[in-house]
Structure 1
Amino acid sequence: MSHLNMTGISKQFSGVPALRSVDFEVKAGEVHALLGANGAGKSTLMKILTGAYQADEGTISIEGQQVRIESPQDAKKLGVQCVYQEVDTALIPYLSVAENILLDQMVASKEKGLIRWQQLYDQAEAILKDFDFVIPVKKQVEECTLSEKQLILIARAAAQQAKFVIFDEPTAPLSTRESERLFRIIDQLKQAGVGIIYISHRLPEIFQICDRITVMRDGQRVFTGETQSTDMDEVISHMLGKSFSEEFPKLEVPIGELLLEAKGIRGGKVRGADLSVREGEIVGIVGLVGAGKTELARLLFGADPLEAGELAMKGKKLQVRSPKQAVESGIVLVPEERRKEGIFVEESVKHNLSVATLAKWSVFGFVRNSLETLQANELIKRVGVKTADSNLLVGSLSGGNQQKVAIGKWLDTEASLFLFDEPTKGVDIGAKSDIYRLIGRLAEQGKGVLYFSCEFPEAIGIADRILVMCEGKIVKEFARNEATQEKIMYYASGGE
């Protein structure tokens, strides 16, 4: 039976320790959770295991034999595979499902001078059938849903006879039903003797599917234990180094004048939405995945065309036909897909933070670099971005810090209404708290906030009012003190 051991793993970047003598193991046929706040060292440890980085000190052994993992190819040969959170970066969009599943085998066949296409399709179909996946093998990957892309990555790991599979935030893009299917697949892999390393910020699912838990903090392993002999409070206190009694730091803020009013909003999936938000008010818009929340946010921001309905801002009729018009009207959006739509991953923290206010730092079209740097450094402090330097690429930051940058770029604009679409998706527990505080401070400044989320406890914790969406419509409104998860679920699931 396979057994993987990482012993005394240390790693520094520019003299700053990222990992300090970390021990971690995973056994065949177990699901081992790897947890920690942003910057705890989880990603660095896994990048060493998958060959993206090399450790400065320490050893890795599989089945008692010390191994060298100097490239992702080495990791694959040793049976270590990763199902990444950002599925698009791991797949080739213009190739078929079968080609993506059997990519390595195709390369080997091509080197021999021949690819037997029917054999390839049959083999891919057989792998998918083993897991009860129903995806046409000739379908192009760019036409697949997020959930299907994730299944393709799992099928690829199976095709390469993985002994250990790392799941990195696998449920972040999935609906509840898709998540349950994923858990059944993980159980199949476990029964087949595969060792699973499971990274997630969603603690309830950790306690549902994991056998053991390891917690990292500040580059060190601070806890390893059996899941059944610990609880959520203990795990959170290990992650933060303190208890997390103030999960939702709600500020009591006076509610001001009417800011935005929307009547009969229709477009795409949205089949009828009436809503309003006042100065200093946080309005939660909640629903299950697919209810139309993201689509409603995009309509209000002018990213998608409005088919019907009326918008008014501070009592004046509003036409929003593009995001540019929305921003000029004082409406800004922090989108759900932050890496695709909220930040420029290949640009620096500084450029991302100044992009919405470039006119302020420019003279005759030339950016005044010193002023841009000053503003970026001030915003980094205000939003609490953890970065050694404002010139670092945003793509190199953790998910929570990327999200803070996506929010921070709007803070020096004239915006009066902030739309947040799933702002804590794929964000660790410490950064979540920072984001709630940022949103609370916006309300304190008299800004209006629309908070779109499928995390019902978050909405109850942060919002003054809660609107429930189901099948493209707003079907129910609750005051904060009336709302419970059970009531919201009833209406979100189609109850009347």
Structure 2
Amino acid sequence: MSAPILDVAHVGKSFPGVRALADVSLQVAPGEVVALVGENGAGKSTLLKILSGDYRLDEGTVRIGGAEVSHASPLEARRAGFRLVRQEPEIVPDIAAAENVFVGEYPRRSLGRVDHGAMRDAMAAQLRRYGFKGLVDPEQPGRSLSPAQTHIVEIVAALKPGVKVVAFDEPTSSLTSDEVERLFQLIRQLKAEGLSIIYVSHRLKEVLAISDRVVVLKDGRVTGNLMTARTNEDEIVRYMVGRELVHDFKREETTRPEVVLEVCHLSSRWHRDLGFSIRAGEILGFGGLVGAGRTELAKVIFGEYPRSGGTIRLLGRERDIRSPSDAIAADIGFAPENRKAEGLILVRSVIENASMAVYRRLSRWGVLSDRRMVEKVAPVIRALDVKTPSMEQEVGKLSGGNQQKVVLSRWLAAGPRLLILDEPTRAVDVGAKAEIYRLIDRLAKEGMAIMLISSEMPELLALSDRIVVMNGGRLSPVIEKKDATEELVVSYALGKGMAA
């Protein structure tokens, strides 16, 4: 085996009250793809932030191409050859795609002027080289980029000259199957060019399809270093969680007669003449392809997007919901798909984020009571086993799974009658996913009506009491649990059997 390009040796990192990494060693050779897996909170994000220069390690060493970069700044880490493709790319909205690629490293002309032409040409050349020609216009403003285009911009930025190691952090969480295959083709190309690649994902089928080795982290320690060709999902999961997991989550029906939500003839920019109902204790699943209109429907019901017609009734009473505050007043909760951009204020604390739906209840004469906030919300956070050094920790510093638990704790504290969950286990590890399934089941048993949007077929089939499928802003006939199959859901998602 060739000498490693990336050599991480005995790295440790602690935060107040938390040992994030302990004696972690990892090597990646030229042309090797190493998958890094583990439950949320296992230390994957901390390790990536050390490699990218965002965090300083407490002990151990990091070498890239033989040069020690143990205490590199973000700029020094980039110049040493480490590049990170983030799960949620940080795009500057008011500048062009090419400027986003070169932000902080703009090419200059004489007299120090930025050379915009050189930036455009360099980005266009990278797009051609890596199979993205025609998918992004270098002059396209950042704010108009689709999720897939933002990932392309992030990838092109990572692959600028000098790259030696590329780390992909949950790169497929918002991609279609075709976009995933295009990404895999790129990774194979980079591997053939001799780059070292770290692939972080909770999707074990992808891990087994693209990696050469799998390194498993648990509680900040390496518990497994497995050759991909000689392992399988079950073995990886055992190293991740230290126990066997039940693959097929099963729940008893808890539906009650009371109708909580009734939508009649709802129309909007994305929908026409939709009707459905959800009863107390029922989980109504919404299937469909990306872009079918499911997220938009959730936001119409929650008052974030306007509706052009139809009625929404909660517990038999018609509600004129024009804003999220109207929805919360009507006892509706919403956990959005993009938790970082829409569900959390990353620079605020865990307890502040978890309290947002009940601020009015916790205030007296317009002043928020910290004591009442702790009394009311802290027990909910503890019940969900949110891994945080303190309630005052910035929520942006938590792992993805723990951030999702904070979003859910907000609505547990509020106790809505209807809870809308949009992709509740997106980018969540298998252990945290099982916890979230149990939580959703518990809420249904307690009588909460749940609108579940999920693109994961096993999840949709396991959790839902009934399923409707959206295609082009229309809904399929209701599928009862006993009749629900993957083939039927996919058929409706493709528009087969849908009313014209």
**TM bucket normalised to smaller:** over 0.9
Instruction: Confirm whether residue 327 of structure 1 aligns to residue 361 of structure 2.
Output: no
**Residue of structure 1 in register with 2:52 after alignment:** 50
**Residue of structure 2 in register with 1:113 after alignment:** 112
Letter in 2 for 1:115: V
Paired residues of 2:12 and 2:23 also in contact (CA < 8 A): yes
SS of 1:405's partner is helix
Paired residues of 1:249 and 1:436 also in contact (CA < 8 A): no
- The 2-side partners of 1:96 and 1:304 are apart by 27
**Residue of structure 2 in register with 1:296 after alignment:** 297
Of the three residues 61, 64, 68, the one matched with 1:62 is 64
1:148, distance to aligned residue in structure 2 (A): 0.6
Letter in 2 for 1:33: A
Paired residues of 2:130 and 2:186 also in contact (CA < 8 A): yes
1:268, distance to aligned residue in structure 2 (A): 2.1
SS of 1:33's partner is strand
Alignment RMSD (CA, Å): 1.8
Q: 1:466 to 1:109 in 2, by over 3 A?
A: same
User: Which stretches in structure 2 are left out of the alignment for 5+ residues?
Assistant: none
- The 2-side partners of 1:265 and 1:27 are apart by 56
SS of 1:37's partner is coil
Deviations 1:63-102 (A, max 9, x none): 4444444211121111100000121x2x322221122223
Describe how 1:24-103 pairs up with structure 2 within 5 A: 24-87=26-89, 89=90, 91-103=91-103
**Bigger Cα displacement from structure 2, 114-123 vs 364-373:** 114-123
Paired residues of 2:57 and 2:70 also in contact (CA < 8 A): no
1:251, distance to aligned residue in structure 2 (A): 4.2
- The 2-side partners of 1:388 and 1:247 are apart by 33
Paired residues of 1:384 and 1:434 also in contact (CA < 8 A): no
Paired residues of 1:424 and 1:432 also in contact (CA < 8 A): yes
Letter in 1 for 2:422: D
Instruction: Confirm whether residue 467 of structure 1 aligns to residue 468 of structure 2.
Output: yes
- The 2-side partners of 1:170 and 1:181 are apart by 12
- The 1-side partners of 2:70 and 2:400 are apart by 29
Deviations 1:156-178 (A, max 9, x none): 12223311101011111212222
1:316, distance to aligned residue in structure 2 (A): 2.8
- The 2-side partners of 1:344 and 1:276 are apart by 32
**Residue of structure 1 in register with 2:5 after alignment:** 3
SS of 1:213's partner is strand
- The 2-side partners of 1:303 and 1:67 are apart by 46
**Bigger Cα displacement from structure 2, 442-451 vs 250-259:** 250-259
Letter in 1 for 2:340: R
Paired residues of 2:40 and 2:429 also in contact (CA < 8 A): yes
Describe how 1:326-365 pairs up with structure 2 within 5 A: 326-365=327-366
**Residue of structure 2 in register with 1:20 after alignment:** 22
SS of 1:409's partner is helix
**Bigger Cα displacement from structure 2, 29-38 vs 266-275:** 266-275
SS of 1:100's partner is helix
SS of 1:132's partner is coil
**Residue of structure 2 in register with 1:241 after alignment:** 242
Letter in 1 for 2:333: V
Instruction: Confirm whether residue 277 of structure 1 aligns to residue 278 of structure 2.
Output: yes
**Residue of structure 1 in register with 2:125 after alignment:** 126
Paired residues of 1:469 and 1:476 also in contact (CA < 8 A): no
Q: 1:300 to 1:161 in 2, by over 3 A?
A: same
Paired residues of 2:264 and 2:276 also in contact (CA < 8 A): yes
Letter in 1 for 2:453: F
**Residue of structure 1 in register with 2:404 after alignment:** 403
**Bigger Cα displacement from structure 2, 66-75 vs 230-239:** 66-75
Letter in 1 for 2:345: F
Paired residues of 2:466 and 2:480 also in contact (CA < 8 A): yes
Paired residues of 1:53 and 1:70 also in contact (CA < 8 A): no
User: Which stretches in structure 1 are left out of the alignment for 5+ residues?
Assistant: none
**Residue of structure 2 in register with 1:312 after alignment:** 313
Letter in 1 for 2:117: Q
SS of 2:470's partner is strand
Instruction: Confirm whether residue 222 of structure 1 aligns to residue 223 of structure 2.
Output: yes
Paired residues of 2:377 and 2:413 also in contact (CA < 8 A): no
1:423, distance to aligned residue in structure 2 (A): 0.9
Letter in 2 for 1:435: I
**Residue of structure 1 in register with 2:494 after alignment:** 493
Paired residues of 1:299 and 1:305 also in contact (CA < 8 A): yes
Q: 1:360 to 1:145 in 2, by over 3 A?
A: same
Letter in 1 for 2:114: I
1:247, distance to aligned residue in structure 2 (A): 5.3
Paired residues of 1:354 and 1:372 also in contact (CA < 8 A): yes
Deviations 1:381-431 (A, max 9, x none): 222212221111111111111111111112233521111011111112211
| TM-score, normalization by structure 2 | 0.94
1:112, distance to aligned residue in structure 2 (A): 5.9
1:317, distance to aligned residue in structure 2 (A): 2.6
Q: 1:65 to 1:264 in 2, by over 3 A?
A: same
Paired residues of 1:258 and 1:314 also in contact (CA < 8 A): yes
1:52, distance to aligned residue in structure 2 (A): 1.4
1:308, distance to aligned residue in structure 2 (A): 1.9
Letter in 2 for 1:321: R
Letter in 1 for 2:304: A
Q: 1:307 to 1:15 in 2, by over 3 A?
A: closer
- The 2-side partners of 1:427 and 1:15 are apart by 23
Q: 1:279 to 1:68 in 2, by over 3 A?
A: closer
Paired residues of 2:255 and 2:279 also in contact (CA < 8 A): no
Deviations 1:207-264 (A, max 9, x none): 1211211110011100111112111111111111101116525244243312211122
Paired residues of 1:49 and 1:69 also in contact (CA < 8 A): no
- The 2-side partners of 1:115 and 1:10 are apart by 41
Q: 1:170 to 1:19 in 2, by over 3 A?
A: same
Paired residues of 2:38 and 2:44 also in contact (CA < 8 A): yes
Paired residues of 1:293 and 1:453 also in contact (CA < 8 A): no
Deviations 1:119-175 (A, max 9, x none): 332222111111232211111111111111110111112223311101011111212
- The 1-side partners of 2:70 and 2:373 are apart by 44
SS of 1:425's partner is coil
- The 1-side partners of 2:476 and 2:17 are apart by 55
Paired residues of 1:326 and 1:332 also in contact (CA < 8 A): yes
- The 2-side partners of 1:469 and 1:172 are apart by 20
Paired residues of 1:268 and 1:295 also in contact (CA < 8 A): no
Q: 1:381 to 1:495 in 2, by over 3 A?
A: same
Paired residues of 1:254 and 1:280 also in contact (CA < 8 A): yes
- The 2-side partners of 1:274 and 1:9 are apart by 56
Letter in 1 for 2:120: Y
Paired residues of 2:16 and 2:389 also in contact (CA < 8 A): no
Paired residues of 2:337 and 2:422 also in contact (CA < 8 A): yes
SS of 2:458's partner is helix
Letter in 2 for 1:95: I
Paired residues of 1:32 and 1:198 also in contact (CA < 8 A): yes
Paired residues of 2:266 and 2:307 also in contact (CA < 8 A): yes
